[in-house]
Amino acid sequence: MAGLMAGFGCYTHAIVRGIPTSLAKESLRTCQAEVDLSKAQREHDAYVHILRTTLGLEVVELPAEETLPDCVFVEDAAVVCGDTALITRPGAESRRRETEAMKGALKDLNLNIVEMTDENATLDGGDVLFTGREFFVGLSKRTNQRGAEILADAFKDYAVSTVPVMEKLHLKSLCSMGGPGLIVIGSSEPAQKTLKIMQQMSDHRYDKLTVPDDLAANCIYMNLPDKGQVLLHCTAEEYPESVKVFDKLNDYKLFPVSNSEKVKVDGALTCCSVLINKKSGN
């Protein structure tokens, strides 16, 4: 039976992209920090390894592009839900061309491509939280109302609510989905406020998992056929208190993934991949 909106967290494919050397110096960042490029490279390799080898996803690896220092953060370039892929118009001018390679890759996967051509629209995938039942779009420095409208047009089945993003770069800088109906949320005041707004806007009910560190709230949930519930989250070295919280998730296969370098340029775990379910229903 074809069913819509089933199988939250089910993925078959992932799109990732290599790290250009320009990342260290030229990539956008909200605070200054020295990036150890080779360490970043090692971390990214480990991330891809988990997706491909440990979890068995079909990983499409796009080549790094030196002129696009932020290109490793593929999440911002596309929003994929079901068999539809929305190619975004990233808020940062320097990142607009990142979508080209992404579009090609998604086309190759036979997804329905919707492009955001409106020049007044901006949207970063990092501002888009899909809960399985609806979308929340953070209105941030990178994402505007028009961008959210186009997203709503692209995914008509779902309610799309807008949420202001306070302080942080992206909506998902302080939250992510930790399972069906489970929102992982940071404990900072902006994070908690954001969550309250989301719950007010929603017809659905969510549970929350509060972690001490906002950045640790960005994790990757998957529900894989032979793996069960999988959660990729921060390491104990980075956020020891938050890891204690994740450790309590008993029914999960937990994968701490180190992200100490990319985080310096505002890259969280979800930023580095676009996850796709090619077996979704129809």
Partner 1 sequence: MTTESGADSEAKQQQQQQEESVAAPKENPKAAEPASPQNQLEQLPAAVGHSTPARKEQILCHQDTPEEDQESRQSSTSRLSRSPLKGMKKVKIMQCKVTLLDGSDYTLTVEKRVKGQVLFDKVCDHLNLLEKDYFGITYRDVEQQKNWLDPTKDLKKQIRTGPWNFAFNVKFYPPDPSQLTEDITRYYLCLQLRDDVVSGRLPCSFATHTVLGSYTVQSELGDYDPEELGSDYISELRFAPNQTKELEEKVMELHKTYKGMTPAEAEMHFLENAKKLSMYGVDLHHAKDSEGVEIMLGVCASGLLIYRDRLRINRFAWPKILKISYKRNNFYIKIRPGEFEQFESTIGFKLPNHRAAKRLWKVCVEHHTFFRLVSPEAPPKKFLTLGSKFRYSGRTQAQTRRASSQIIRPAPFFERSASKRYNMSQSLDGAPITENHETLMRDSDSAANARGDIITTVTTEKKAEEEKAEREDARADTTADAGTPTAVRQEAKTDSEQTDFAFDGDITATEDTEPPAEMVKHQTNISELKRSFLETDASVPGLTEWERRLSSSPARSPRSDEPPMIEPLEEEQQDEEDEKPAGDETKAEPKVTEAAEYLLKCTADSSLADGAPPQGISPSATMDDDVFAAEEKTPDSHDQLSEKSVDRLSPGSVREEVSQAITDKRGMLIILKEAEVEAEGKDDVGKLLLSKMEALVEEASPVKGSPKKAMASWVSEVARAEESEVFRVLTEEMPKTFEQSKPDVAQITLSEAAPLAVSTLGWISPSVTPEKASADVEQKKLLATEMEAAPEDHTRADAVCAKEMPVVHTETKTITYESAENDMNGDTDHGVLLSAQTITSETTSTTTTTHITKTVKGGISETRIEKRIVITGDSEIDHDEALAQAIKEAKEQHPDMSVTKVVVHKETEITPEEGED
Chain residues binding partner 1 by CB under 8 A are 1-5, 82-84, 112, 133-134, 137, 139, 145, 148-149, 152-153, 155-164, 179, 181-183, 193, 195-197, 199-210, 245, 248-251, 281-282
User: Distance between CA atoms of 93 and 96, rounded to whole angstroms?
Assistant: 6
Rg (CA), the chain: 17
Token pair of 41 as six digits: 């490279």
Q: Is 176 helix (H, G, I), strand (E, B) or coil?
A: strand
Nearest distance in Å: CB 96, partner 1: 23
Catalytic status, residue 271? yes
Q: Which amino acid is at 220?
A: I
Nearest distance in Å: CB 175, partner 1: 12
As beta bridge partners, residue 9 has none
Nearest distance in Å: CB 82, partner 1: 6
CB nearer to partner 1: pick between 72 and 175? 175
User: Distance between CA atoms of 175 and 186, rounded to whole angstroms?
Assistant: 6
Options 13, 170, 234, 272, the catalytic residue? 170
Nearest distance in Å: CB 89, partner 1: 17
Contacts of 42 (CB under 8 A, 6+ apart): none
Nearest distance in Å: CB 192, partner 1: 9
Token pair of 278 as six digits: 């090619």
The pairs formed by 95-98 with CB atoms below 8 angstroms and a separation of 24 or more are: 95/28, 95/68, 95/70, 95/71, 97/65, 97/67, 97/68, 98/65, 98/68, 98/70, 98/71, 98/74
What single-letter DSSP state applies at residue 216? G
CB nearer to partner 1: pick between 271 and 275? 275
User: Distance between CA atoms of 102 and 192, rounded to whole angstroms?
Assistant: 33
Q: Is 197 helix (H, G, I), strand (E, B) or coil?
A: helix
Catalytic status, residue 170? yes
Residues labelled as active-site residues: 170, 271
